[in-house]
Amino acid sequence: MKSCYSGWKYEGSWLGSLLLLGAALGSAVSPWVIKYGRRHTIIASGAPRLLGWLLTIFSTSVYTFYVGRFVCGFSIGAISAATPIYISEVAHPSLRGTLSCIIILGVNFGMFIAAFFGTFLDWKGLAVLGAVFVVAYFVPSFCIPNSPSWLALQGKEEDARNSLRRLRRKGWGIEDELQQILTIAEKVSRDKSIPWKCLFVEKRNLLPLVVVTLVTVVNRFSGYNAIITYCSIFIREAVPSASEYWSNVAVCLVQF
């Protein structure tokens, strides 16, 4: 991203860090996802995301920038908690794995787009572009149906049937799939009475929990986020003759 306010040498590290801090706190909305639904969480996350970009666009001080980045990060964390669940629940079983993997692909593509446009846009232009993308997803999100699985968990069988009918093409038999969803919802409702400690003491649960936790911790503490956030600075200081912006594009392209 091209020039920002002069004299922001140290504040720049806060601009990068506050986004990640906001995302960490935003991911804590998982109970909201369970209680109020995936669709409502996706919709609700759009408003603060847009607010964050508007604060960035019209910022007059570094502190407004700070708030904008934190709010954007919080929204990212919230939607990251809801979107994978929603996609896995509304997708047809034959496409579920593929569509779930596309989420990460979409994140990497978005980073590439930001790096590419950042080569010739200043920080305000890039913020405007970010706001445009938010509006492009926020407005249509009001038209998406609730997850049939979530509706089944709420005991709304007829609403789940109507939602599934909207999600499948006309003439597609949905009753078998609906019965599977209702069966799973019933099992989940029964399992709610199982205490949390069973997750940590039963061997069948302990191994998957340890594996997932280790993979997540290693991934987050590997320095990946720091490298991506400050990639252009690293390149500028390591190879002064190289174009820091196009080098950043190349890194994001390889990642994509």
3-state secondary structure 54-66: HHHHCCCCHHHHH
Q: What is the pLDDT of residue 133?
A: 92
Q: What is the pLDDT of residue 210?
A: 85
Q: What is the pLDDT of residue 5?
A: 46
Q: What is the pLDDT of residue 174?
A: 80
Please give the chain's pLDDT, 256 residues, in tens: 444 544 456 677 777 788 888 888 888 876 777 777 888 888 888 889 999 999 989 988 888 889 999 999 899 888 888 888 888 888 888 888 888 788 888 888 888 888 888 888 888 888 999 999 999 988 999 989 999 988 988 888 899 889 988 888 776 778 888 888 888 888 877 766 666 666 677 777 778 888 888 988 887 787 777 777 777 777 777 777 767 677 777 777 777 6
Residue ranges per structural domain of the chain: 11-144, 194-256
CA distances from 215 to 76, 81, 211, 234 (A): 21, 18, 6, 26
Superfamily of domain covering 11-144: MFS general substrate transporter like domains (1.20.1250.20)
- Contacts for 32 with CB less than 8 Å, ≥ 6 apart: 41, 78
Is the CB of residue 128 less than 8 Å from the CB of residue 67?
A: no
Q: What is the pLDDT of residue 9?
A: 60
Q: What is the pLDDT of residue 83?
A: 87
Q: Give the integer Cα–Cα distance in Å for 25 and 13.
A: 19
- Contacts for 48 with CB less than 8 Å, ≥ 6 apart: 71, 72, 74, 75, 78
User: Sign of the CA dihedral 154, 156, 159, 165?
Assistant: positive
State CA 6 to chain mean position distance: 31
Q: Give the integer Cα–Cα distance in Å for 164 and 160.
A: 6
Q: What is the pLDDT of residue 129?
A: 92
Q: Give the integer Cα–Cα distance in Å for 97 and 87.
A: 10
Rg, the chain, Cα only: 21
Residue whose entry in the numeric block shows the structure tokens 């003759």: 241
